Amino acid sequence: MHNIMGIIMTSDQNPALKELIEHRCTASLPLGGKYSVIDFVLSNMVNAGIYDVGLVAQYKFRSLIHHIGSGKEWDLDRKNGGITILTPYLGNAHSGWYHGTADALHQNLSFLKNSTSDYVVICRENCIYKLSYTKILDFHLARNADITVAYKQMDHCTVQDFRHAPFLQIDGTHKILGMQPKSFYSKKANVPIGVCLLKRELCIQLVEACAAPGNKDMLEHIFMKKIPDLNIYAYPFKGYWKCINTVQSYYKCNMDLLNLKRQYELFKKDGPIYTRTDDSSPAKYCENADVRNSLIAGGCHIKGRVQNSILFPGVTVGKGAVVKNSIVMHNALIEEDVLLTNAIVDKKASITHRRAVKGVMSNPILIGSEGEGRC
Amino acid sequence: MQKQVIALMLANKRKNELRPLTQNISKSLMPYGGKYRIIDFPLSNCMHSGIDTVGVITQYPYWELMAHIGKGEAWDMYHKSGGITILKGAGPGYDIRHTVRYIEQFCPQYVLILSGDNIYKMDYTPMLHLHRQKNADVTLSAVQVPWDIASQFRIVYADSESNLYKIELNPKFSENNLASMGVYIFKWDILKTYLLEQPKGLFSPYCIEQNILYPMLHNGQKACVYRFKGYWADITSIQSFWKANMDLLKREWALDMHDKDWRIYTGSSELFVHYASPTARIKRSIVGEGCIIHGKITDSILFPGVTVEKGAVIEDSIVMSGCRIGKNSVLRNVCCAKIQPWKSIVP
């Protein structure tokens, strides 16, 4: 049994997520009826027996810290290890704002050095998937690799959707040969899913040796530059994977959960997804409720029609209201006779009496708590 | 560590009438309302009333109770002093002096004794106020029950000054419908002397009444009655279990579970939210987390993790955790639970 520690890198301010991250970071964006985006990576870690986790955060992390709390929901309130939130701070000459993931690791080298784990797995927070990291470790050991990067072969992808990561060139033995140039566009591309595994000692060495202002991204500027010297392999991931980096991908990912097979894959197979409990009472359906193909969380009070939608805890749908193809976050109020189509309604927003709000599927309308649509 | 008031909760009742449902658990652990266990109500009441030290007395194989309560964090009772402690209430090696010793470490002025198997939302502070104001030795809480079932309860009589003057157990013809709720506040020093006089007595609701309350009244100690106004349900049979659950649908004004100021807390589950498929038809029902619904559901309560397959019809029924309702099956007025071996009970 090898000991693994985890590092979770949270993304920077992503303008493509628009108002969804106006008051929060991507990590604490609500998803799937009761979860936050971060829950998936964090639960993957805990389900793989990783109980020493560092969470690197620097943008609007108040909501994230509130969500994590002591880490007890993930069994991460521990004497040894547990969860440590690594935010930037001012101290000596090299401290301060993180300039990319490599710099974040460089500033927190002591965190890596203090651990006694053999391996470290470095993950991005904004990816939704279910993967036991021990499988990557088995792959890593079997191939005697120095670094293993997990990827998924995508059929249709645009550079625009995956600005965060390079596409990989891979040979028949899954060895990484190099990066595909960024301007490259093809039907098929190997997209890294934001998981890298390597020996902790090696990680410390690489970070110390490569610390330079230009080397921002851990994967692109440090690992990929070591291709001639090290055995870098790519682990093929076959399951469901979605990166939350645009409003469209956020909407699509939620809608993808309206599928029993995906629900099974993400929430039942290989352990549950843990999250902060909400303590709401079970959902209540009233006389005129008509709910089809939808996910309904606790505390919802449904008097109207709901179709192909996702309702978070505490949502009220008034009499005669119709909610279609929409995502309605915590404690939002949909009053009587409202028509809501292709919309994302933020927490505590209320849509007043008889209003009709209509977006299009490819570009869902966002409704903030001020009550007006902005998109 | 001194506490002004601590609570003792009696979670050791097991009614024969509820037999199949309480095969492995005490009455307090019976499921309620699509998510909860009955014990969540008095525990959450304590939490909202500012009582942070509760001794839960049990006697049945109690790993399920301990698993449900855990460290008590669901009720904010996980702290260095006090919190929730499981105490033994009967059986070999049981001695009331252990319970006394447990209470003594907090040097409380008052001890609140609760029954762990009633469904109600109650703030205990006004009752404590009354107890202090009247300088009573014991105060018991009572609620008005429908006249036709008054004979099932312990009926109390109080004068206009709230002084208790008579208690009747299961009277055939009662002149009053004020029933004791099994909630008492005692002055600790007085309760202690009565407890130590009966070292062999079981710590059960019956013992509290027979060995403590009656002798106290007989000796002329001051007893008061606090009138509770609100919803209160006692589970004595499958029928009353049924009715109390259905009250959430049929008399929703009586017990508002969506009230955010007086939430009922429970041990958390790691289930996904529930999914209503394109063929689902759900009306006038309560559906718990993790359910997958393809069928038709009306006037029913579904507990977490229930799967209802295509074409199944569930009407006026209670379906407990983890049940699977197969294709095209029809359930009407059924309470079904996953008990080893599988059993279903028709009320």
Q: Are residues A314 and A224 in the same domain?
A: no
CA gap A31, A9 in Å, rounded: 19
Among A210, A233, A268, the domain-final residue is: A268
Q: Are residues B37 and B174 in the same domain?
A: yes
Among B187, B219, B250, the domain-final residue is: B250
Q: Are residues A309 and A180 in the same domain?
A: no
Q: Cβ contacts (< 8 Å) between A294 and chain B: which residues?
A: 275-276
Residue A20 is given by DSSP the state G
The DSSP H or E segment spanning A149 is strand A147-154
Inter-chain CB proximity A277 and B268 less than 8 Å = yes
Phi, psi values for residue A88, rounded to 5°: -70, 150
In tens, the pLDDT along B101-136 reads: 999 999 999 999 998 889 999 999 999 999 999 999
In tens, the pLDDT along A195-246 reads: 999 999 999 999 988 877 777 888 888 888 888 899 999 999 999 999 998 9
Q: Are residues B46 and B164 in the same domain?
A: yes
Which of A243, A231, A239, A221 lies closest to A174, judged by CA?
Answer: A231
Q: Is residue B261 part of a domain?
A: no
Q: Cβ contacts (< 8 Å) between B279 and chain A: which residues?
A: 292
CA gap B30, B15 in Å, rounded: 11
Q: Are residues B92 and B188 in the same domain?
A: yes
The DSSP H or E segment spanning A316 is strand A316-317
The amino acid that residue A230 corresponds to is L
Mean pLDDT of B141-146: 93
Residue A276 is given by DSSP the state -
C-beta separation of B113 from B186 below 8 A: yes
* Range among A273-287, B119-133, B208-222, B263-277 rated most confident: B119-133
Which of A197, A172, A15, A235 lies closest to A118, judged by CA?
Answer: A197
What CATH number is attached to the domain comprising B333?
2.160.10.10
Residue B63 has pLDDT above 90, yes or no: no
Rama region for B328: left / alpha / beta (φ>0; ψ in -120 to 50; rest) = left
Q: Is the dihedral of CA B253, B259, B262, B266 positive or negative?
A: positive
Residue A373 has pLDDT above 70, yes or no: no
Rama region for B82: left / alpha / beta (φ>0; ψ in -120 to 50; rest) = left
Q: Cβ contacts (< 8 Å) between A273 and chain B: which residues?
A: 270, 272
Q: Are residues A252 and A292 in the same domain?
A: no
CA gap B294, B229 in Å, rounded: 41
What confidence score (pLDDT) does residue B347 get? Answer: 44
C-beta separation of A4 from A121 below 8 A: yes
Q: Cβ contacts (< 8 Å) between B43 and chain A: which residues?
A: none
The separation between CA A330 and the C-alpha centre of its own chain, rounded to angstroms, equals: 19
Nearest CA in chain B to A280: B258
Question: Would you state the structure tokens that stand for residue B128, as one six-digit string?
Answer: 């404590």
Give the best residue of B249, B273, B296, B306 to mutate against chain A (max A CB count within 10 A): B273
What confidence score (pLDDT) does residue A143 get? Answer: 93
CB of A70 less than 8 A from some CB of B:
no
Q: Are residues B180 and B299 in the same domain?
A: no
Q: How far is B289 from chain A (nearest CA, A)?
A: 7
Confidence of residue B190 (pLDDT cuts 50, 70, 90): very high
Q: Is residue B259 part of a domain?
A: no
Inter-chain CB proximity B275 and A294 less than 8 Å = yes
Q: Cβ contacts (< 8 Å) between A277 and chain B: which residues?
A: 74, 268
Inter-chain CB proximity A292 and B277 less than 8 Å = yes
Confidence of residue A178 (pLDDT cuts 50, 70, 90): confident
C-beta separation of A149 from A194 below 8 A: no
Q: Cβ contacts (< 8 Å) between B286 and chain A: which residues?
A: 282-285
Q: How far is B123 from chain A (nearest CA, A)?
A: 19
C-beta separation of B133 from B46 below 8 A: no
CB of A31 less than 8 A from some CB of B:
no
Q: Are residues A130 and A203 in the same domain?
A: yes
Q: Is residue A239 part of a domain?
A: yes
Among A218, A239, A268, the domain-final residue is: A268
Residue A371 has pLDDT above 60, yes or no: no
**Among partner residues A34, A258, A287, which is closest to B283 by beta-carbon distance?**
A287
Q: Are residues B237 and B293 in the same domain?
A: no
Q: Are residues A213 and A246 in the same domain?
A: yes
Q: Is residue A276 part of a domain?
A: no
Q: How far is B181 from chain A (nearest CA, A)?
A: 25
Q: Cβ contacts (< 8 Å) between B273 and chain A: which residues?
A: 32-34, 295-298
C-beta separation of B157 from B164 below 8 A: yes
Question: Would you state the structure tokens that stand for residue A118, as one six-digit string?
Answer: 């053999």
Q: 10 Å Cβ neighbour count for B152?
A: 14
Q: Name residues 131-150 of chain B within 8 A of A (Cβ).
A: none
Q: Are residues B210 and B170 in the same domain?
A: yes
Q: Is residue B54 part of a domain?
A: yes
Q: Is residue A224 part of a domain?
A: yes
C-beta separation of A283 from A289 below 8 A: no
What confidence score (pLDDT) does residue A186 get? Answer: 62
CA gap A105, A205 in Å, rounded: 11
CB of B287 less than 8 A from some CB of A:
yes
What confidence score (pLDDT) does residue A18 get? Answer: 84
Confidence of residue B345 (pLDDT cuts 50, 70, 90): very low
What confidence score (pLDDT) does residue A128 get? Answer: 95
Q: Are residues B146 and B275 in the same domain?
A: no
Q: Are residues A245 and A326 in the same domain?
A: no
Q: Are residues A206 and A353 in the same domain?
A: no
* Contacts A–B by Cβ distance under 8 A: 100
Which of A294, A303, A349, A297 lies closest to A322, judged by CA?
Answer: A303
Q: Are strands A294-296 and A310-311 parallel, antiparallel or unpaired?
A: parallel
**Among partner residues A277, A280, A291, which is closest to B282 by beta-carbon distance?**
A291
Q: Is the dihedral of CA A164, A169, A172, A176 positive or negative?
A: negative
C-beta separation of B95 from B199 below 8 A: yes
Residues present in chain B in total: 347
Q: Cβ contacts (< 8 Å) between A263 and chain B: which residues?
A: 272, 275
Q: Is the dihedral of CA A58, A62, A68, A70 positive or negative?
A: positive
Q: Are residues B27 and B88 in the same domain?
A: yes
C-beta separation of B3 from B46 below 8 A: no
C-beta separation of B195 from B215 below 8 A: no
Give the best residue of A254, A270, A285 to mutate against chain B (max B CB count within 10 A): A285
C-beta separation of A335 from A352 below 8 A: yes
Q: Is residue B74 part of a domain?
A: yes
What confidence score (pLDDT) does residue B331 get? Answer: 95
**Among partner residues B257, B274, B282, which is closest to A289 by beta-carbon distance?**
B282
Give the best residue of B272, B285, B309 to mutate against chain A (max A CB count within 10 A): B272
What CATH number is attached to the domain comprising A232?
3.90.550.10
In tens, the pLDDT along B212-241 reads: 888 898 898 999 999 999 999 988 888 889
Give residue for tokens 């099974």: A264
What confidence score (pLDDT) does residue B343 get? Answer: 45
Percentages helix, strand, coil for chain B (3-state, rounded to 5) are: 25, 30, 45
The separation between CA A73 and the C-alpha centre of its own chain, rounded to angstroms, equals: 17
Q: Are residues B229 and B317 in the same domain?
A: no
Which of B202, B198, B298, B291 lies closest to B246, judged by CA?
Answer: B298
Q: Is residue B239 part of a domain?
A: yes
CB of A295 less than 8 A from some CB of B:
yes
Q: Are residues A36 and A97 in the same domain?
A: yes
> A125-139, B61-75, B86-100, B282-296 — which is least confidently predicted?
B86-100
Give residue for tokens 């409990």: A277
Nearest CA in chain B to A308: B278
Beta bridge partners of A30: A36
C-beta separation of B257 from A281 below 8 A: yes
Inter-chain CB proximity A298 and B257 less than 8 Å = no
Among A268, A300, A332, the domain-final residue is: A268
CA gap B30, B235 in Å, rounded: 10
Which of B7, B102, B86 lies closest to B51, judged by CA?
Answer: B7
What confidence score (pLDDT) does residue A121 get? Answer: 96
Domain count, chain A: 2
Q: Are residues B117 and B246 in the same domain?
A: yes
Q: Cβ contacts (< 8 Å) between A268 and chain B: which residues?
A: 272
CA gap A142, A136 in Å, rounded: 10
Give residue for tokens 């199944």: B312
Q: Are residues B13 and B130 in the same domain?
A: yes
CA B299, B302, B305: angle at the middle one, nearest 5? 160
What CATH number is attached to the domain comprising A315?
2.160.10.10
What confidence score (pLDDT) does residue A372 get? Answer: 40
Nearest CA in chain A to B256: A281
Question: Would you state the structure tokens that stand for residue B209, as one six-digit string?
Answer: 């009444």
What does the CA dihedral A320, A326, A331, A337 come to, rounded to 10 degrees?
-20
Confidence of residue B210 (pLDDT cuts 50, 70, 90): confident
Q: Is residue B30 part of a domain?
A: yes
3-class state of residue A180 by DSSP: strand
More confident residue, B93 or A252: A252
Q: How far apart are the first and last CA of chain A?
A: 50
Q: Is residue B262 part of a domain?
A: no
Inter-chain CB proximity B272 and A274 less than 8 Å = no
Q: Are residues A249 and A319 in the same domain?
A: no
**Boundaries of domain holding B286:** 269-345
Q: At what angle do helices B188-197 and B96-104 cross, to 10 degrees?
A: 160
In tens, the pLDDT along A104-155 reads: 999 999 999 999 999 999 999 999 999 999 999 999 999 999 999 999 988 8
Beta bridge partners of B166: B157
Q: Name residues 214-233 of chain B within 8 A of A (Cβ).
A: none
Residue B98 has pLDDT above 90, yes or no: no
Q: What's the mean pLDDT when you consider all of chain B?
A: 88
3-class state of residue B345 by DSSP: strand
Q: Are residues A219 and A360 in the same domain?
A: no
Q: Cβ contacts (< 8 Å) between B271 and chain A: which residues?
A: 272
Query: Quick check: bond before B31 cis, omega within 30?
Result: no
Q: Are residues A81 and A227 in the same domain?
A: yes
Domain count, chain B: 2
Q: Is residue A161 part of a domain?
A: yes
Q: 10 Å Cβ neighbour count for A290?
A: 17
**Among partner residues B34, B268, B276, which is closest to A291 by beta-carbon distance?**
B276
Beta bridge partners of B193: none
**Boundaries of domain holding A323:** 284-367
Q: Cβ contacts (< 8 Å) between A298 and chain B: which residues?
A: 35, 273, 288-289
What CATH number is attached to the domain comprising B182?
3.90.550.10
Mean pLDDT of A189-193: 88
The DSSP H or E segment spanning B238 is helix B238-250
Q: Are residues B29 and B112 in the same domain?
A: yes
Residue B199 has pLDDT above 50, yes or no: yes
CB of A100 less than 8 A from some CB of B:
no
Q: Is residue B257 part of a domain?
A: no
Q: Are residues A72 and A215 in the same domain?
A: yes
Report DSSP letters for A231-253, one per residue.
-EEEEEP-S-EEE--SHHHHHHH
